[in-house]
Amino acid sequence: MSAPARPDSPARLEALIGALKTKGILTEEELTARQAQTDRASSEIGARMVARAWLDPEWRRLLLSDGSAAAEAMGVSMAGAPPLGVLEDTPQRHHLVVCTLCSCYPRAVLGYPPHWYKSFAYRARAVRDPRGVLAEWGTALPEGMEIRVVDSTADYRWMVLPLRPPGTEGWAEDRLTSIVTRDALVGVALPQVPSPTMAA
């Protein structure tokens, strides 16, 4: 987990930004654009990419063959971002994403990683005991399903395309998007159809 900001941190950040500007490495406009892009990024983008893949086979092919191009097609600027790879769950195989070395995460389409994703506990255990980790999340995989842990060690960022759950037949894109959570997009959870009593 990251340490709390020290009192001198803001001053140090200002000095760094000033130096980068003076040396012509960074402009105010670039900084503002990147901040806006970072603020816009949220897991709803990834969720919509998944919902669309459940509805449109052609989009699904694009998503699986070139995640970055799919993100661009969603209006996400991938310039300077690491390439996005998308991992397709099947009835036989579930994907779980971790970065054991640091905290690589598909920020462009999921936003900031949650704190647990960066914790030593998750990073150490997901790769060694993925079934134990999933059980603690309350995620039960169907009998016979194998797990493929994807350790995000280098230059790609990985997102999961989960299975479309039964009970969602006939749903439109917005409704499908609403059940794809951030946690499902890295594989610690599965998309859940709300029970009828819960649906208001």
Partner 1 sequence: MMPAEGTSAAASDPPSQPAPVVPRFPPGTRVQVRDDWPERRGPCHIRTPHYLRGRTGTVQRLLGCFANPEVLAFGRPAPRHELYHVLFEQNPIWNEGHPGDEVLVEIFEHWLEPAEATKEAV
Please identify every residue annotated as catalytic.
99, 102-104
Report residue 95 CA to chain centroid gap: 13
Dihedral of CA atoms 25, 27, 32, 38 in degrees, nearest 10, equals: -10
Q: Is 103 in the site for partner 1 (CB under 8 A)?
A: yes
Can you state the percent helix, strand and coil of the chain, rounding each to 5?
45, 10, 45
Q: Is 147 in the site for partner 1 (CB under 8 A)?
A: yes
Q: Is 127 in the site for partner 1 (CB under 8 A)?
A: yes
Least separation in angstroms between CB 101 and partner 1: 6
Neighbours of 168 (CB within 10 A): 14
Q: Is 146 in the site for partner 1 (CB under 8 A)?
A: yes
For partner 1, which residue of 72, 82, 125, 192 counts as binding (CB under 8 A)? 82
Smallest CA-to-CA distance from 108 within 183, 49, 193, 189 is with: 49
Q: Is 169 in the site for partner 1 (CB under 8 A)?
A: no
Alpha carbon distances (Å) from 55 to 88, 164, 182: 15, 10, 19
Least separation in angstroms between CB 171 and partner 1: 31
Least separation in angstroms between CB 24 and partner 1: 12
Binding segment for partner 1 among 11-19, 51-59, 99-107, 163-171 (CB under 8 A)?
99-107
Q: Is 114 in the site for partner 1 (CB under 8 A)?
A: no
The amino acid at residue 198 is M
Q: Which of residues 22-81 bind partner 1 (CB under 8 A)?
A: 79-81
Tokens coding 89 = 């769950």
Residues that bind partner 1 (CB under 8 A): 1-3, 79-83, 85, 100-105, 107, 118, 127-131, 146-156
